[in-house]
Amino acid sequence: MNPFIHPALFYRTDQEYLAALVPFAAQGLDAGQPVAMAVPGRRLDVLRAGLGALARHVTLLDMAVEGRNPGRIIARILRRFADRHPDRHVRIVGEPIWAGRSVDEYPACAQHEALINLAFDGRDVTILCPYDLSTLSPRAVADAYVTHPVVWEGTDERTSDDYDVPGLLSRYNEPLPAPPSHAVFEVAGTADLAAARRFAVAHAGGLDRVADLELIVTELATNSLRHTGGPCRVGVWRAEGHLVCEVRDGGSLTDPLAGRRPPGRGQLSGRGLLMVNDLADLVRVHTGAAGTTFRALLRLP
Amino acid sequence: MRDARDLGRHDHLCWSYEDTPDFLARVREYLAEGLELGKRVRYAALGASPDDLAGITGIETALSTGAAQVTPLSDTYSGEPEEHVRAYAAATEQALADGFTGLRVAAEATPLVSTPAKLTAFLRYEHLVDRYMARRPFSAMCGYDTTVLDEHAVTQLAGVHPCANHPTPFRLHAAPGGEVVELAGEVDAASHDLLGSLLERIDVEGDLVVHAPDLAFIDHRGLLLLADSARRRERSLVLRTRAVGAARLGDLLDMPDVRVEQIP
């Protein structure tokens, strides 16, 4: 039997939230299990107050900050905590989806929820994912049944008949929205990387996070050159409060967990997409037989 | 870089050339400036002749008094990097004892790097002698014939000199004082192989301290290559840089044996 447990927790009120999560933490701590809870902003205040004295035994993280980009949650929150305790069952609460997630963010959030199942398959870990039914869209709730094998609601624990990780990953591997007209720079080989950086910065239109943009464009283009053996095209534009850096190549991405695994010590490769997930506020990917598009978004002040 | 004068940077110059008369013109510039600075100067090349220095003001007197010397290349290099540095150190101290302000050498070094094995040994020599030059009044101009050497060899040689007329993505050489390595330029996938190969030639006691005030960019793999070089010596990496991205990477990579320090 798979020791990994990944329920969605449906709640409507703060009372229902605490009635589920406080005992989840308390029972874990009583059993000597490490407990971490990563929930967004105001929910963190509610949870901290509800935990009372227990709070100082729980690792509390603001998901809206640490997990702003859902692409980094597995490596930087879930695996980082679970890997620190390889000898014991670990309990984690992760709430990556809330009503404030934008239409651009949501598909990446749903993909993240599905990928948790692949990343933790066979691990002695419970990851409980709260869903606020009072504010979330019907689509988000329906998707929670697809990304979680079980659903908890009050005292009810039911198996999800809709659980379908490959189906969800395929459904949200959708062509990205058409960009506005923008300049494009072709990277034919590694000798063009320095020019690609200058192109990206020149078309960013003034940016505080120039260093982040330089790293993102370099790591994405390097990743494309390395894995496809062919050229890639870099595009940069501004849209809806973000700077968007896009890299298109002719390859297809076959590893759904690329960029989501923490690196081993001394590992010299395989960190490029992980770095991009760390640096960007959102990363969207579309891959298929015709090629792969990466879009890294930096929130503008 | 158009000529071989007023270089600063402990005056260790790599000059790659296609045209011998042009190279000899640079040699004369370099050595004439050395004489003006009160140094003993030396020209070393296969078949080197005093005639090659004709035109330098006062060269006849300098040659007769020992202020200027011309030597065949075979007399200058044993093939063993440490021994070669010791020989130049002794010659530098002798020049000082003889009342000069130091020693300045121009050498046509192409025959010393004509095979991969020779190139490997000579890159190590260039690194060691660069560190010596950063500490003592010895300077050298190393000439390399690009009609004989391939682009990769010339790029590697230029990459270990603080001054070069051949473009390289970055430079790795001794910092003032000779104690740490200095890295300048940009490091990305175009130069990972070059960086990896040059790091194998360097020899640093203690932690690998990389002084990088003029490092404009380094990607994550470049930083990991530096860290790996330190780790293979069971030492830590300290990167001192103004590059904001390097500090971001240092935080994200979160490796206990890597420290990125921001310098003003």
Give, to the nearest 10 degrees, the angle between helix B116-135 and helix B151-159.
20
Cβ–Cβ pairs < 8 A, chains A and B: 60
CA dist., res. B149 & res. B18, Å (int): 10
Question: B237: closest CA among B215, B258, B254?
Answer: B258
Residue B220 is nearest to which of A190, A197, A275, comparing CB atoms? A275
Would you say residue A154 has pLDDT above 80?
Answer: yes
Which of A197, A208, A227 would best serve as a mutation to test chain B binding (most B beta carbons within 10 A)? A197
Interchain CB contact of B151 with A (< 8 Å): no
Min distance B170 CA to chain A CA atoms (Å): 12
In this prediction, residue B76 has a pLDDT band, given cuts at 50, 70 and 90, of low
CA dist., res. A36 & res. A94, Å (int): 8
Taking only the tens place, the pLDDT of each residue in A253-277 is 999 999 999 987 767 777 999 999 9
Question: Buried b / exposed e across A16-38, counting CB within 10 Å, b at 16+?
Answer: bbbebbbebbeebbeeebbbbbb
Q: What is the mean pLDDT of residues B234-260?
A: 92
Q: Which residue of chain B is at minimal alpha-carbon distance from A212?
A: B245
Taking only the tens place, the pLDDT of each residue in B129-181 is 998 998 899 999 999 999 999 999 999 999 999 899 998 888 888 887 666 78
Q: How far apart are the first and last CA of chain B?
A: 28
CA dist., res. A220 & res. A201, Å (int): 15
| B198: DSSP letter | H
In this prediction, residue B73 has a pLDDT band, given cuts at 50, 70 and 90, of confident
CA dist., res. B69 & res. B59, Å (int): 10
Min distance B136 CA to chain A CA atoms (Å): 36
Q: Do you know the residue count of chain A?
A: 301
Q: Which residue of chain A is at minimal alpha-carbon distance from B242?
A: A211
CA dist., res. B103 & res. B31, Å (int): 10
Residue B221 is nearest to which of A210, A225, A269, comparing CB atoms? A269
Q: Which amino acid is located at A198 in the chain?
A: R
Q: What is the ipTM score, two decimals?
A: 0.92
> According to the model, what pLDDT value does residue B178 have?
65
Taking only the tens place, the pLDDT of each residue in A57-110 is 999 999 999 999 999 999 999 999 999 999 999 999 999 999 999 999 999 999
Taking only the tens place, the pLDDT of each residue in A112-139 is 999 999 999 999 999 999 999 999 999 9
Q: CB B220 to CB A193 under 8 A?
A: no
Question: Buried b / exposed e across A228-253, counting CB within 10 Å, b at 16+?
Answer: beebbbbbbbbeeebbbbbbbbebeb
Interchain CB contact of A273 with B (< 8 Å): no
CA dist., res. B46 & res. A104, Å (int): 68
Q: Which residue of chain B is at minimal alpha-carbon distance from A270?
A: B221
Which of A69, A215, A276 would best serve as a mutation to test chain B binding (most B beta carbons within 10 A)? A215
Min distance B102 CA to chain A CA atoms (Å): 40
Q: How far apart are the first and last CA of chain A?
A: 48
- Flag whether the pTM goes above 0.80: yes
The whole-chain average pLDDT of chain B stands at: 90
Taking only the tens place, the pLDDT of each residue in A156-196 is 999 999 999 999 999 999 999 999 999 999 999 999 999 99
Q: Which amino acid is located at B166 in the chain?
A: H
Question: A246: closest CA among A283, A215, A279, A210?
Answer: A283
